[in-house]
A and B are shown apart, each in its own frame.
Chain A
Amino acid sequence: MSGPDGGAAGGGPGEAGNGVPIVEIEDLKTYFPIRTGILRRLAGYVRAVDGVSFEIRRGEVFGLVGESGCGKTTLGRTLLRLQRPTGGVARLEGRNVLEFRGRDLRKMRRRMQIIFQDPVGSLNPRMPVSDIIGEGLLAQADVENRWGERKVRDKRVGDYLEEVGLRRDYARRYPHEFSGGQRQRIGIARALALDPEFIFADEPVSALDVSIQSQILNLLLDLRDRHDLTYLFVAHNLSVIQYISDRVGVMYLGKLVELSPVAELYANPRHPYTIALLSAVPDPDPRVRKKRIVLTGDVPSPAAPPPGCRFHTRCWLREQLGDPEECATIDPPFREIGGGHRVACHFAERIREEVSTAAVIGVEEPPGVPGGADPISQAS
């Protein structure tokens, strides 16, 4: 579809795509069986992804945040057919990818690629870079692209190494000869070489030095524009998400609890969980003192999610509202509240008035310099 240099350069960065969905997910579920004892009896399921619906628009960066273990990786991998789905629909340009089998599946894989967090574990240590990047070309070779021929393949590998800012002759080297940032670039070149439309970037900068993170983020944004890519982008760091995303989804215990264009989400969060996450991010303006909402209690097990609203066991809003019954009994629908802002909370409309008084209960002033911009990992 998009050539190595898509000159036309569609929507510029920051523009939330052209509104046409490229990926549509409906009620997606991925459960992991829990087996116990010597007979490996089925004892239940970890509901890693438990009924998620949203769409990703062509050309956008869809950011996904949430505490460790809430199902972000599982969601992306299920979508890429790297994890067996339990139920639901996931369409790529209108066709349900969960239904592909055999040869069709292998051919379809070319269109959706993955970038990993771990720059060490994601590259086969016994392969030179040429083979690492060439692997996909080999697998997708046909008479038309002639990727089965070593020469054609090596040329393309070199092209894509340059595309991600590495030297062509690095193709002969092995992964252990590179730094973390360089390896990450190799991983990106590998994903890119198949000319995919959609890329699942699973915490692609989390393992890198802060100084290198922004280089990689900008590279990803450049590539998005040059190759008409669409990203599903997972990160723990809310500043990273704010920087790179067009729209953001917030996940809690296998479900989406909020989804919104990025500016709106950071300015006007409507789910108590999102508010708690954002309250821990230090404001760039040191004179602004933010109230920090500390979530109490453990994250419930995804094998036995709480009834009603999944967040109710830790919800500060529910506490303030005097324990309304529906929180513990009725699963709040994921509903639109205007402006493409969706939220799963019975009392989302009460947030504005309540959030100002939030300072009174279960909330404290951050001591001096706020403690870092990674509230999610701190919470766990």
Chain B
Amino acid sequence: MSIAQLEMPAQSAIVSRGLWRDAARRLRRNRAGMVGLVLIALFVFVAIAAPLIAPYGPNVGRIQDKFLPPSPEHLLGTDLQGRDLLSRILFGARSSLYVGLLSVSIGFGVGVTYGALAGFIGGWIDFWAMRFVDIVLAMPGLLLTIAIVVWLGPGLDRIAFAIAVGNMPIFARIVRSSILALKESDFVLAARSMGASSPRILLAHVLPNALTPVIVQATLTLATAIIDAAGLQFLGFGDQDPGIPEWGAMLTDTFRYIQAGATFTALFPGMAIVISVLGFNLLGDGLRESLDPRLKR
């Protein structure tokens, strides 16, 4: 940290290439953030390349091969139905990533728009818009999500939507509070005093600054979305097509696995969840530190 600072004294001749590049440079120096980035890169790579790198199809297996311990043929062993666990985990990355991205996109899109409008319009509209957010936030998160999934029926898309609903108010609230603070900031006042129009102020001054905290939040939310999705899949709300492996669903028979002495069949999908979640959490924290130039002084 102090090195980064020493290399950029106020009067130095180094010309910065912009705030985002500076942020990227700081992120590169943030060890935890970089570990997170590597984990996520791995996760995304696996999700995309699963058909190429998986030794078996996700659903290939003979019942007599069930619960084989790890071996050269099955690096992570096999599950209840004799399917190769490694292959299923690799394919499972796809549903995890899918649910995570979809739910965060919906939650981010709706929540940020909602919160930004409330904050920028202000007054009564803002007041009641936020009371509604309070109500949603007052409900226990996972319970709300489960209720929605129960109501909509099972399926990956529905899980994603339900999780998004739970996250919308969080995004809305963060954006709105940063917008309120930014609206009163001196640089916005300066823009107004120079005659900048309201849309210009919103788009050029308020939003770009309001987005940093939500970008961090989005990264962290991806982590919880993956966990929540796994939980819902565990409870049987996942995709009804049994052909698509889901990490959460792979844990469902834990009890039987343990009874059968094949603890690894629960352990490995669990580890996959932990690693991907950890990746997003580490990156989120790293982003939080590197996106704010004011923290680095």
**In the complex, what's the smallest C-beta–C-beta distance from B185 to chain A, in angstroms?**
6
**In the complex, what's the smallest C-beta–C-beta distance from A196 to chain B, in angstroms?**
10
**Contacts A/B (CB < 8 Å), 5 sampled:** A124-B209, A126-B209, A139-B197, A140-B194, A174-B22
Q: What sequence of 0s and 1s flags, for each residue 5-41 of chain B, a beta carbon within 8 Å of any chain A beta carbon? A: 0001011000110110010000000000000000000
C-alpha spacing A190/B190, complex, angstroms = 9
Q: A113: CB under 8 A from chain B?
A: yes
A82 and B10 contact, CB distance less than 8 A: no
Q: A69: CB under 8 A from chain B?
A: no
A120 partner, pick from B19, B194, B294, beta carbons under 8 A:
B294
B11 and A179 contact, CB distance less than 8 A: yes
Count, chain B residues at interface, CB 8 A: 29
Q: B127: CB under 8 A from chain A?
A: yes
A121 partner, pick from B16, B187, B296, beta carbons under 8 A:
B187
A114 and B195 contact, CB distance less than 8 A: no
C-alpha spacing A124/B11, complex, angstroms = 19
B190 partner, pick from A107, A116, A120, A125, beta carbons under 8 A:
A116
**In the complex, what's the smallest C-beta–C-beta distance from B2 to chain A, in angstroms?**
16
C-alpha spacing A274/B184, complex, angstroms = 32
B196 and A121 contact, CB distance less than 8 A: no
B contact residues vs A (CB 8 Å cutoff): 8, 10-11, 15-16, 18-19, 22, 127, 185-187, 189-197, 200, 204-205, 208-209, 293-294, 296
**In the complex, what's the smallest C-beta–C-beta distance from A171 to chain B, in angstroms?**
11
Q: A122: CB under 8 A from chain B?
A: yes
Q: A314: CB under 8 A from chain B?
A: no
- Range of interface residues on A (Cβ < 8 Å): 35 or more
A139 partner, pick from B18, B22, B127, B200, beta carbons under 8 A:
B200
Given A40-B127, A125-B209, also A177-B16 (CB < 8 A): yes
B195 partner, pick from A110, A121, A124, A169, beta carbons under 8 A:
A110
| CB-based nearest B residue for A175 | B293
C-alpha spacing A176/B18, complex, angstroms = 10
C-alpha spacing A121/B127, complex, angstroms = 26
Given A126-B208, A136-B195, A140-B195, also A173-B16 (CB < 8 A): yes
Q: Name 5 extra pairs, CB < 8 A, besides A110-B195, A125-B209.
A: A77-B189, A109-B192, A113-B194, A128-B18, A176-B22
C-alpha spacing A140/B14, complex, angstroms = 32
- 10 tightest A-B contacts by CB? A136-B194, A122-B186, A176-B293, A139-B195, A106-B195, A179-B10, A109-B195, A124-B187, A139-B196, A116-B186
C-alpha spacing A135/B209, complex, angstroms = 16
A118 and B186 contact, CB distance less than 8 A: yes
B8 and A177 contact, CB distance less than 8 A: yes
| CB-based nearest A residue for B14 | A177
Given A124-B205, A135-B196, A179-B10, also A174-B18 (CB < 8 A): yes
| CB-based nearest B residue for A105 | B195
Given A82-B192, A106-B195, also A174-B187 (CB < 8 A): no
C-alpha spacing A110/B194, complex, angstroms = 6
B127 and A107 contact, CB distance less than 8 A: no
Q: A289: CB under 8 A from chain B?
A: no
